[in-house]
Amino acid sequence: MVQQSEFIWFDGKQVPWAEANVHVLTHALHYGTGVFEGIRAYECTDGSSEVFRLREHMVRLLDSAKIIGFKVPYSLEELIQATEDTLKVNKLAGAYVRPLVFVGEGAMGVHPGNNPIRVCIATWPWGAYLGEDALEKGIRVKCSSYTRHHVNVMMTKAKACGNYVNSVLAKTEAVADGYDEGILLDTTGHVAEGSGENIFMVRDGVIYTPHISQVLAGLTRDSVMQLATDLGFEVREMSIGRDMLYTADEVFFTGTAAELTPIREIDRRQIGEGKAGEITKTLQTEFFKILKGDNPDYEHWLHRYTLD
């Protein structure tokens, strides 16, 4: 269950959580016409707080809306400020942040007509997405029977609400089969991503990940690739077959929610030593230093704020 906070920023105002409602004939509820982001705020070791790559997330939100074909009635700077304001009014030093832009009520039918574009930003406390033990012990995953969207079937570079029915099916199937998460293959049969994560594998000291053309351009993915390169690791983008995952030394997921989560088993095959590998642990350690504000080299990724 979501741990409720006090207010949600909704169409330019701070609205009490229980009053941030929409009509049942809201267009997005019926047709998936919305775009969203997943963002995290962290409490830093110096007592301040930061929102990780807030500006880049909001740029992607606006890009997603443009791809889907509607104009957001707020500027980039307004959305950034609204996020900070909402964290402060809810007194959250660390939180999950969910901006959502969607087509409201009005015309009913596939064409949204002149229905209003509505915007909300919700913030609430949230721990490890895949469980606290997952960050250390790793998780069990399966290759899903569902295929990731083809680039000309859905707008795969938009973080669009309707796209995620595909993810819901894959995740639900994985959990029902006793796994923690699913891996989706693309329409060529190559590894794409998890239901809500990007994926990496390590073989002989080299880090591999599916090419950007095959996946959603995750900001945690980008951050980990930059971090790994800065640490001296070789990072390659390439097409990856599922059998390559089976014989990898290490495999891990990245994502705002998943952070950096090791994978210990895929399709009943143990990966490496069956726990977080050395490169995964190194990246985890250094990544969390950044999130906690302990590496000044990456300060430009942090949107700092303090609670009044």
Residues catalogued as catalytic: 159
Sign of CA dihedral 208, 268, 215, 223: negative
Extract the runs of DSSP E, i.e. beta strands, from 82-132. 95-103, 117-124
Distance CA 33, CA 59 (A): 18
Tell me, what amino acid is at 302?
A: L
Residue where the block lists tokens 């390439």 = 238
**Contact of 232 with 179, CB cutoff 8 Å:** no
Residues counted in the chain: 308
Distance CA 35, CA 163 (A): 9
Tell me, what amino acid is at 190?
A: H
**Contact of 93 with 45, CB cutoff 8 Å:** no
